[in-house]
Amino acid sequence: MDETDPAEPVAAADRGRTSRIDAVNARLTALAQRRRVSFWVAVVQRFNEVDGGNQSVVLSVTLFTTVLPLIILSFGHASGFAANVDVGTLFDREAGLSGATSDAVRNAFGSASGLQSSWSVIGLAGFLVWGIPMAVSVAAIFAKAWRREMLGFWHRLWRGTLWFLLYLLTLTSRDRIAFGGDHTIGTQIGLLAVSLVPIWVFWSATPALLVREGWRGGRFLLKAGLAGMVIQGIVLPLSVRLVFPPMLAGWTGFGPIGVAMAIITWCGVIGVSWVVTACLGAVLWERSAPATTVVEVEADSASEAPRDDIE
């Protein structure tokens, strides 16, 4: 005769269901509490949670050594590597430089024709390969900011690589739209507004690409993408025109080294902006998406760093 009490597994199952329900209720309560915190306070807390300061420093170095050379090479290619085109024109245009600061930047760079030897499969591949670790780091930052279990290494690798290529394409699209020719002031303002669209699309798609189950709550990703559009498409371009010229003017006495100091400092600002974009978008999404969707996809513990496993 089987003396096993059939009520025991039923009771255990009931306890398991109760435990899961309690866990979900606890997450919903914690989410409700987070949503009651002031929005900007929540963004600062998320920035500190992902160690935003140190992450920004790492990104700034890779931006200076990888992204910036690729932008300069693309500018040289767009100009046809003409001997009479100065690479410094790229920075003059973006930062609105003139006078002594413009001359200092132009003197720090050669003509576009000097870049032609680097415009090759091997030359471009060298910079692109160095950009992959940066993209993997960005994927890790977004996973922490969005409080998701981190993707396995190989997933971060291919997704991060695709993200990096899309980022370069977005920069190119924005530049072609905004500065593709000579226009009247009214037309130029309209083109600058249109150039924000690819930036918005890119930063809206970034969580879906870099974050585990990032496609969940899809329509609210568009709101998160607004954070990237405002920061990367409006705040940064305006800031570079307000801050970069006087900062560079103070360092022109150092010659090309002063120009390099100013540029790497600005790369640090861009690195901070990427981390802030991740945190701001995450908080926006978290406060807009349905509560059940948020608690379903976030890591087991919101305060616990996402697990770095290899798949």
Residue-wise pLDDT tens for the chain (311 aa)? Answer: 444 444 444 444 455 556 667 667 777 787 788 888 899 999 999 999 999 999 999 888 888 888 788 777 777 766 666 655 666 677 777 777 777 777 777 777 766 666 666 666 666 667 777 777 888 888 899 999 998 888 888 888 888 888 888 988 898 888 888 777 677 787 878 888 898 999 999 999 999 999 988 888 778 899 899 999 999 999 998 888 888 888 877 777 777 788 888 888 888 889 999 999 999 999 999 898 888 888 887 765 554 444 444 34
CA nearest neighbour of 293 among 38, 17, 31: 31
In a domain, 15, yes or no: no
In a domain, 19, yes or no: no
Inter-axis angle of helices 121-145 and 52-62, to 10 degrees?
Answer: 170
User: Which residue is it, tokens 């987070």?
Assistant: 34
The per-residue pLDDT for 47 is 95
The per-residue pLDDT for 205 is 94
In a domain, 115, yes or no: yes
Q: For Cα atoms 165, 167, 168, give the angle at the middle one, nearest 5 degrees.
A: 65
The per-residue pLDDT for 58 is 87
List the domain range (segments joined by +) for residue 275. Answer: 43-297
In a domain, 49, yes or no: yes
Report how many domains make up the chain: 1
In a domain, 29, yes or no: no
In a domain, 168, yes or no: yes
In a domain, 287, yes or no: yes
Terminal-to-terminal C-alpha distance of the chain = 47
The tokens for 115 are 């870049």
In a domain, 293, yes or no: yes
